[in-house]
Amino acid sequence: MFLEKDSHNKSKGWIEVVCGSMFSGKTEELIRRLNRARIAKLRVEIFKPGIDTRYSEEDVVSHNANALHSIPVENAQQILFYSNECDVIGIDEAQFFGNELIDVCQQLANQGIRVIIAGLDMDFMGKPFGPMPQLMAIAEDVTKVHAICMRCGSLAQYSHRTIAGDKLVVLGETESYEPLCRECYMKAMAEKAQKETNANPSL
């Protein structure tokens, strides 16, 4: 389990990333850290991209319904605007922000703010997602959390999409995804390719 660094020096900024697949508990871990900062009487603010409208307009909602009030923003620059007077900033679903989030997080940390970022590290194709790889590179601390593979019970790191189509992860459609381990994900992708070949023998 992640243990907070000694926050004796409140004015020291840094960046933490919590990443993983869908159903890996990223948001729960973000909320846990933010709640502990709040108990320590630090000023906390949480942001999420405006496109994430599942369940509630204003709360960061994880699958276990452990909600925290949050501010939906249209772009990463707006986080700078709202983060005056904050000690700790949480950013949920960070994969949906553009690459400008990287610079925004650097600026916040350089100003002495503790920045905690949660997001999907890979899309359903198994490719690094949005600004997440760069954020992991510049962070002081990276935690990769895992789901449980729906097919074999191992640790899962892939968000396998169970429906057809090539659109990237759409929030609110979590029922269309299953967490899989590497081996089961490879098998599932091979089965999918086989099905497509059978459906279009000319390919």
Q: Name the minimum Å distance from CB 187 to Zn ion.
A: 8
The catalytically annotated residue of 16, 29, 45, 93 is 93
Q: Name the minimum Å distance from CB 180 to Zn ion.
A: 6
Please state, in angstroms and rounded to a whole number, the distance separating the CA atoms of residues 109 and 12. 8
Shorter beta-carbon distance to Zn ion: residue 70 or 157: 157
Is there a contact between 4 and 130 (Cβ–Cβ < 8 Å)?
A: no
Q: Which two tokens stand for residue 33?
A: 């850290």
Q: Name the minimum Å distance from CB 162 to Zn ion.
A: 14
> Could you tell me the sign of the dihedral formed by the alpha carbons of 25, 20, 96, 160, in that order?
negative
Shorter beta-carbon distance to Zn ion: residue 15 or 181: 181
* Residue ranges in contact with Zn ion by CB under 5 A: 149, 151-152, 154, 181, 184
Q: Name the minimum Å distance from CB 125 to Zn ion.
A: 18
The single-letter DSSP state of residue 155 is E
Question: Would residue 173 show up in a list of annotated catalytic residues for this protein?
Answer: no
Shorter beta-carbon distance to Zn ion: residue 111 or 154: 154
Whole-angstrom Cα Rg for the chain: 18
Shorter beta-carbon distance to Zn ion: residue 116 or 181: 181
Got the DSSP string for 39-77?
Answer: HTT--EEEEEETT--SS-SSEE--TT---EE-EEESSTH
Please state, in angstroms and rounded to a whole number, the distance separating the CA atoms of residues 97 and 74. 9
Q: Annotated catalytic sites, by residue?
A: 93
